[in-house]
Structure 1
Amino acid sequence: MDRTKKVKRILVTGGAGFLGSHLCKKLLTEGHEVLCVDNFFTGRRQNIHSLLDNKNFELLRHDITFPLYVEVDEIYNLACPASPVHYQFDPVQTTKTSVVGAINMLGLAKRLKIKILQASTSEVYGDPSIHPQTESYWGNVNPIGPRACYDEGKRCAETLFFDYHRQNNVEIKVVRIFNTYGPHMQLNDGRVVSNFIMQALRNDSITIFGDGSQTRSFCYVEDMIDGLHKMMESDKDLTGPVNIGNPTEFTMLELAEKIIKITGSKSQIAFMELPQDDPKQRKPDITIAKKNLGWTPNIDLELGLTRSIEYFEKLIFDKTVKNNSSKINYERV
């Protein structure tokens, strides 16, 4: 910790989620006070269990679709389910979290005259017609499809951020997050890395949608959190949007084969029909992040997957112990 820096009270919405919990830990490590807000739809207490005894950490159960009246110095707005399994479970609530939640958090930032970071997504690009995707690309999104609650919700949130900036002079930071993975993902997360790892660890068939040629770029969570933090600390004139993700591209088939190799799994690969509006390719152009933030990802896929697999193995073991025990009450996974 740099003791010359001002200690800030920082609000992290979605702070008990996958990314939010890692961000809370980083901010605490730097000596800041953290107010973690989560409604626990996808967030879990286990993710922040190690932080609860920290005197600088405060947990508040709250849904940001309702107004929040607190006093803070900065806001990271990460609240929103991010995997299709979760955001399609209640699509209306997903849209409300992105849109109404953004209005509430921007209103708070306006009242307090503080800066606010929006965790947007590469999904704003939809099924892209340019490759790799630059921040100037407007996207190719189906506004009435099954993914629209998330895609269009995040696009509208970006609109609100820039309108609050232009109309009310709110200091904003908008980051477009590309596929991220690592510890604190849920067993039933529904995203491709967690799905493949769980299937491999159980020696089940690894289900690939389509022919396996569609691509994604995978960023390890530690690198992602570093990018979010660098963006928040950047020059006032850098509003974004800024792509944060790993530009190294892999096909779904390559990802499955890597996970089978690392786990030593006996899993076979099974091909299934591609879901509606599923992007065929996804790769960030991170030129702006490199130039303006000095940020590039450092952890390659093999190392990141190894760490993630170790985490999932422990989760499975803990869950098995809990289910087989009649004497000990373990915390819910």
Structure 2
Amino acid sequence: MNPTPDVTTRPIRRAVVTGGAGFLGSHLCTELRRREVEVVCLDNFLTGSAANIEHLVGDPGFRLVQCDVTDYVHVPGDVDLVLHFASPASPIDYLKLPIHTLKVGSIGTHHALGLAKDKGARFVLASTSEVYGDPQVHPQPESYWGHVNPVGPRGVYDEAKRFAEALTVAYRAEHGVDTGIVRIFNTFGPRMRPFDGRAIPTFIRQALAGEPLTVAGDGEQTRSVCYVSDLVRGILALAGSGHSGPMNIGNPHELSVLQIARDVIAATGSSSAVEFVDRPVDDPKVRRPDTALATEVLGWAPEVPWSEGLGRTVEWFRQSAAARPVSAAPGLG
């Protein structure tokens, strides 16, 4: 870990975002354009959606390239920043696409790092709190090595990200690439897919439909959820610094899954009940970031309260449901 919070000398004029049509990637593209940074979005639309970036299409400062980063990656022209966010990220995706998840974490990261090396660009890897596994240290500081089952069902995602971190560190050490690693904790907000398997969009979808909210186990396992605008602000602050990370970005306020479900019912005005279902294998009992490093180095802290972020997200889901054709069938796209 680089303890020196030196500031990069490179202005960010043009950025490449892999996985730029995904939930987080699309919000990064939007914020970069708001900051007048030219954006090249790379996505194969395996889990991303064209709807997430349709507001940027036609913007002369935004370019969309449909490609798979596990293939050769070529971007003509200068690049100042590579944000590597391509990967299936929800359990329903990486359990369905285990080999591709491992390939994008290994081969895809190799290609994205190669692009950054070729362009002399700053590189930021989207890692995850999943590198801590089912943690035995709470809250989780960046110095914690984790408690991960490499052969469990979640191992394809956990180990893909752990390998990606190791490769990123190797490129920094051997090739002198200016790299940063951000460990992202549970994030929520508009553009989440209603059928992606994560708790918050699942609960909102169920509540709006008047269905029971399916809570795993007894619901006492905890999560720390961060609104997407706070997360994007933290990621771009890390990108604009010279810090190598790894750095936790997430909300240190902890909620039980059962409390999240009850809050969703209240926010939607639903009469839905809670239904308890079996807890998934290797589901973490606790998950909360130690964000002291981000505060010290970046001056970053989350600003959007849970209730406010939840209200915004519920409203987005309501509007999306209203705009969806009646004949549309639910799916993973």
Q: Same-fold call, TM > 0.5?
A: yes
CA distance in 1, matches of 2:249, 2:186: 9
Q: 1:284 to 1:258 in 2, by over 3 A?
A: same
Equivalent runs, 1:78-117 vs 2, <5 Å: 78-117=85-124
Corresponding residue of 1:31: 36
Stretches of structure 2 that go unaligned for 5 or more consecutive residues are 1-9
Kept in 2, the 8 Å contact 1:119–1:175? The answer is: yes
**2:264 is matched with which residue: 259, 262, 272?**
259
Indicate the structure whose relative CO is greater, using CA pairs within 8 Å and at least 6 residues apart: 2
Please tell me whether residue 48 in structure 1 is matched to residue 53 in structure 2: yes
CA distance in 2, matches of 1:69, 1:218: 35
- Determine which of 56, 78, 83 is the counterpart of 1:76: 83
Opposite residue 151 of structure 1, the aligned amino acid is D
Query: Does the residue aligned with 2:48 lie in a helix, a strand or coil?
Result: coil
- Matching residue within 175, 179, 186 for 1:179: 186
- Which residue number corresponds to residue 131 of structure 1? 138
| RMSD (Å), alpha carbons | 1.5
Matched, 1:281 2:272: no
- Extract unaligned runs of 5+ from structure 1: 325-332
User: Any conservation in 2 of the 1:18–1:184 contact (CA below 8 Å)?
Assistant: yes
Runs of 4+ in 1 over 3 A off after TM superposition: 320-324
Q: Give yes or no for contact 2:16–2:39 (8 Å, CA) kept in 1.
A: yes
1:194-222 C-alpha deviation (Å, 9 max, x unpaired): 01101111111111111010000000000
Structure 1 partner of 2:7: none
Label 1:255 to 1:7 Cα distance change in 2 as closer, same or farther (>3 A). Answer: closer
Q: Cα offset for 1:7? A: 5.9
* Cα contact 2:28–2:232 (8 A) shared by 1: yes
Matched, 1:215 2:222: yes
2:140 and 2:288 in contact (8 A); partners too: yes
TM-score, L = length of structure 1: 0.94
Q: Is the 8 A contact 2:12 2:80 kept in 1?
A: no
**Is 2:213–2:272's contact at 8 Å kept on the other side of the alignment?**
yes
CA distance in 1, matches of 2:299, 2:155: 33
In structure 2, the residue corresponding to 1:262 is in which secondary structure? helix
CA distance in 1, matches of 2:326, 2:284: 39
AA aligned to 1:101 is: G
Q: Whole-Å Cα distance in 2 between the matches of residues 186 and 264 of structure 1?
A: 21
Structure-1 separation of matches of 2:12 and 2:298: 22
Is structure 2 residue 177 aligned with structure 1 residue 170? yes
Counterpart of 1:126, as a letter, is G
TM-score (norm 2): 0.94
Offset at residue 276 of structure 1 (A): 0.5
